[in-house]
Structure 1
Amino acid sequence: MGEFQRRRKQDSRQQLLAAATEAFCANGYFAISVDEIATAAGVSRMTFYRHFSSKAALAAELFRQSSEAAMPRLLAIGQRDFRERQVVLAWIAELFEANRASGPILRVFMQANAEELGFTQTGHSFITDLIVRLGQYIPAFALDPDDPRDRRGWVAAWLLLYEILDQGNHAARGAGVATDPLAIEILGERFLGFVNAEVRRGR
């Protein structure tokens, strides 16, 4: 494939992603079809399927890109005093505020997660990756899920991060207990309890 063809293929992929983002955010994940995305991107249905196997696969790629963009914010706690209460609360508040700013696309991901079986695994893989990356900065997260001595700690880490991310999504929608200031305090206390625990691996 020549350079021009590669660039053209990449351009059409980005056009599809941009068109899908706009359409999903305006109308929701459920209401938009592959044909509508392709038309909005100015490409054919065949071109869509050259890049993505389905609408769910395109949404998963949008989630991957969004997750990578959010990763520095999530990892920022590792560069701060992660054992200090006010530092942790400020970090979680920052995450919630960033999610509010990204509310429309987060709602799309929640809808895709509800409809597409494979999308859930995409989200779960992200949390697993987040544990690994946090483990480079915070000893409590340096866990091997395949090591029986680490297994309990790893599951606890997974559930902790899932809850923080999930409530951040609810904050973006202005829904549930995530709107209560106590939610940040309680999540922060759980995070502190995890990172400050003296015995993590049972060794």
Structure 2
Amino acid sequence: MADTAGHGARALSQDDVPDPRVAALAAFHRQRKRNSRERLLAAAAREFCDRGYLPVSVEEIAAAAGMSRMTFYRHFRGKADLAAHLFDAAAETSRPMFLHIMAVDFTRREAVVEWITEIFQADQANRRLLRAFTQATADEGDFTPRAQEYIRELIAGLGAAIPAFAVDPDAPAQRRGWLEAWLLLYEILDQSSHAALDSGVATDPLVIEILADRFLAFVRRDSPA
């Protein structure tokens, strides 16, 4: 036994055993960092909704979160960077609503109209934050790459249950179908945002009917090659 131990791993000494206090302290600091970041995001969302994006400063966001300007910059490069992360959080929150169409009969018109109506209503409820994102984009931010990636992820998610969305953008035979899926989801997102901001024709109730018909025409077609 002694020889075997000598040739194998050495026995753990007291110094080798992790101190549970060190692990607990590290976990505490990680949680505290996450909490600080979430508090800054929540404070920014409140300030942006109440006053808009442009008038709010980094100092005011930090103060609203009960933190210093230095702490703010430990988490974000600036106001535009924070707005981009807030955009990501909003997109992640809305993802289950978009994927909900897979849980119902997505070939039934009434179900599709109800689904798109819920999307429009959700954006209407968040219209002040959407307006802040619009101001941020016009000022210094650019959420276009994030929105494009979000749509790409939605296509992949919907493709798990809806054959028309099960398309590979890198497969030449499926490229057209993928682009059609992308444009369809983009139009729903875009018109929903416009309706929430009382912009253009998106406020006309017929827009939801038209979008539902386009969705149905897409999902009822033959499965992609």
> Does residue 99 in structure 1 map to residue 120 in structure 2?
no
Q: Map Cα deviations across residues 70-128 of structure 1 (whole Å, 9 max, x no partner).
A: 11111111111111111111111111111111111122222223334542211111111
> Does residue 165 in structure 1 map to residue 192 in structure 2?
no
Q: Map Cα deviations across residues 113-166 of structure 1 (whole Å, 9 max, x no partner).
A: 333454221111111111110111111001111111111111111111011011
C-alpha deviation, 1:171, in angstroms: 1.7
Hey, which bits of structure 1, 4+ residues long, moved more than 6 A? Answer: none
> Of residues 188, 192, 198 in structure 2, which corresponds to 1:174?
198
> Does residue 10 in structure 1 map to residue 34 in structure 2?
yes
Structure showing greater radius of gyration is 2
CA distance in 2 between partners of 1:7 and 1:79 (Å): 35
Given the two structures, how large is their TM-score scaled by the length of structure 2?
Answer: 0.83
CA distance in 1 between partners of 2:139 and 2:147 (Å): 14
| Partner secondary structure for residue 89 of structure 1 | helix
- Give the superposed CA RMSD: 1.6
CA distance in 2 between partners of 1:117 and 1:153 (Å): 31
CA distance in 2 between partners of 1:152 and 1:82 (Å): 21
- Are the aligned partners of 1:77 and 1:91 in contact in 2 as well (CA < 8 Å)? yes
> Does residue 25 in structure 1 map to residue 49 in structure 2?
yes
> Of residues 136, 139, 154 in structure 1, which corresponds to 2:160?
136
Counterpart for residue 143 of structure 2? 119
> Of residues 89, 99, 117 in structure 1, which corresponds to 2:113?
89
CA distance in 1 between partners of 2:139 and 2:221 (Å): 38
- Are the aligned partners of 1:56 and 1:119 in contact in 2 as well (CA < 8 Å)? no
Counterpart for residue 60 of structure 1? 84
CA distance in 1 between partners of 2:33 and 2:103 (Å): 39
Q: Which runs of 5+ in 1 are unaligned?
A: none
Percent identity (aligned) = 55
